[in-house]
Structure 1
Amino acid sequence: MSAVLSSRTALVTGASSGIGWETAGRLAALGATVIVHARTVNEGEHAVDRLVAAGASRDQLHMFAADFTRLGEVAVLAATVATAFPTLDLLVNNAAVLAPERCTLTDDGNEVSLQVNFLAAHLLAKLLRAPLSAAGGSARIVNVSSSLHRTASMNWNDPHRAKKYSRVAAYAQSQLALTMAARDMAPEGSGITSVSVNPGLCDTALLPLYGRVGAPAAEGAAAVVALCLPDFRLTNGEYYDGGDIAPSAQVVHEERSLRRLGKLADQLVTRT
């Protein structure tokens, strides 16, 4: 592969397995310096070893661990990355978990899939804005979303769905929030472009929620990496599928709803 990303640094969250791991490998093969995020040190070290065995140079890979069910660890991750890499070219918000069978709150008080799949990405984008802006107008944020976001609705009065919980509805809501948040992650004048992408139905840990046969995770990673390439022109805030802008939930472009989501997210990541 050509080294089209040889001068770029990318942070890939949830890079210890599935689409995230494949994305990290493809970015490294294109010459990028890749920050491999994992939930634990052991998972991260194992992921890096596997990437090296698959052909990546260990010098290209930097591993950081943070459990996204703890927002304090997300903040530490952002601070550590910003110190080590004052310029960050790519942020791939890939980390995701299935919503459990029963409503489960993190120690921060948030429904677990809402926090891991959306709030952590929201917080990272805010805390890493300076190093992303330092990329000189070429920085990109790619949010790995799902077509399920189109089936979802935001439960504004009960975002954790504690009163009437459904794991499918909770997961879909987390993906809707992530898709809606893309534009807010790249405010005007920041020099950042932020989008969301449907990687397709892949054989990953999330597949049981869909209940169907999935494509290899490498195919999903290819869809993600395509949006990271400098010659791929992106439109800020849009949702991509199959390499093109695709129809998204109507609320994704509703100004009032976007402002409401931003306010809600800020409240949920800062409360004690």
Structure 2
Amino acid sequence: MTDNTTALVTGANKGIGYEVAARLAELGMTVLLGSRDRERGERAAEKLRAAGGDVRCVVLDVTDPGSIERVAAALTRLDVLVNNAGVAGPIGLEPSRTPARALREVLETNVVGVLMVTNAMLPLLRRSPAPRIVNVSSGVGSLAHHTDPGHYMAALAPSATYPVSKTALNQLTVQYAKELRGSGVLVNAVAPGPCATDLTKDLPFPVTRTAAEGAEIVVRMATLPPDGPTGGFYAESGPMPW
């Protein structure tokens, strides 16, 4: 990490994104806290500044090309991009009852949004001495987990939205890593594990893991050394099965 290292974290006004922003700021980075809602973003940034961090709110809607372009145009440097913004979609709705619009809405944020933000920020990242891209995925994106009768995810209710989007995000991560291999840009997906956030509040089982705990693997992959991995899928315990 060099002086003036700058990180952009999307969807960072709460939950795991907020905790990632907090940890990166603690490490001395200038953190751009992405938030769709300016007021919520400013409140979150102010709280982190009060704790001593160099944190600035940027209004960023990952589904709005104009919003993305405005943020990219205002930046002169970017070293770390954390694509954290995500939506859950309908909970407990079987694929056979899922309207196409529900899937489109989830993919628009969780996959297409990642592509648009990444493409807009790549020119800046390519100029960084240590560029890192971290895509916040989920263990529910693992095909191996869902097809393993011994894994608890095999018993989860079927869904055509959130798990599908995270599997697609994992593949998108691999494709970016292939394109950028040898450029110095390290691109990885991470599974923070189920954490007690707004995204999990409607799950039919209790979630006690904290957002701060989930943020640790994100921060680890955002601060990889030059010889770190790229094109992988990682949890706190190590590589995740695809």
The CA deviation at 1:149 is 0.5
2:139 paired residue number: 147
2:5 paired residue number: 8
The CA deviation at 1:81 is 3.1
CA distance in 1, matches of 2:239, 2:226: 12
The CA deviation at 1:243 is 5.0
What pairs up with 1:120-269 in 2 under 5 angstroms? 120-136=113-129, 138-151=130-143, 168-186=159-177, 187-188=179-180, 189-207=182-200, 208-209=202-203, 211-231=205-225, 233-242=227-236, 244-248=238-242
Q: Secondary structure at the match of 2:230?
A: coil
The CA deviation at 1:175 is 0.6
Q: Secondary structure at the match of 2:132?
A: strand
The answer (yes or no) to whether the contact 2:24–2:31 under 8 Å persists in 1 is yes
Change (3 A) 1:167 1:240: same
1:31 paired residue number: 28
CA distance in 2, matches of 1:210, 1:195: 30
Alignment TM-score, normalising by the size of structure 2 = 0.82
The answer (yes or no) to whether the contact 1:146–1:175 under 8 Å persists in 2 is yes
The answer (yes or no) to whether the contact 2:192–2:218 under 8 Å persists in 1 is yes
Q: Unaligned regions of 5+ residues in structure 2, if any?
A: 92-97, 145-156
Q: What are the superposed Cα offsets for residues 31-60 of structure 1, whole Å, 9 maximum, x if unpaired?
A: 00111001111111111122223x133xx2
Q: Which segment is superposed worse, 180-189 or 42-51?
A: 180-189
Q: Unaligned regions of 5+ residues in structure 1, if any?
A: 153-165, 249-272
The answer (yes or no) to whether the contact 1:64–1:77 under 8 Å persists in 2 is no
2:108 paired residue number: 115
Q: Secondary structure at the match of 2:90?
A: coil
Change (3 A) 1:35 1:24: same
The answer (yes or no) to whether the contact 1:122–1:185 under 8 Å persists in 2 is no
The answer (yes or no) to whether the contact 1:16–1:47 under 8 Å persists in 2 is yes
Tell me how many residue pairs correspond in the alignment: 221
Change (3 A) 1:213 1:52: same
Amino acid at match of 1:171: Y
Q: Which segment is superposed worse, 186-195 or 22-31?
A: 186-195
What pairs up with 1:51-62 in 2 under 5 angstroms? 51-53=48-50, 55-57=51-53, 60-62=54-56
The CA deviation at 1:230 is 3.9
The CA deviation at 1:63 is 1.3
The answer (yes or no) to whether the contact 1:203–1:215 under 8 Å persists in 2 is yes
Q: What are the superposed Cα offsets for residues 126-155 of structure 1, whole Å, 9 maximum, x if unpaired?
A: 12110010114x211101110101149xxx
Change (3 A) 1:147 1:210: farther
CA distance in 2, matches of 1:116, 1:56: 31
1:67 paired residue number: 61
Q: Secondary structure at the match of 1:168?
A: coil
Amino acid at match of 1:122: L
Change (3 A) 1:230 1:147: closer
Change (3 A) 1:119 1:240: same
Root-mean-square deviation over aligned CA pairs: 2.4
The answer (yes or no) to whether the contact 2:69–2:120 under 8 Å persists in 1 is yes
Q: Secondary structure at the match of 1:143?
A: strand
CA distance in 2, matches of 1:66, 1:85: 13
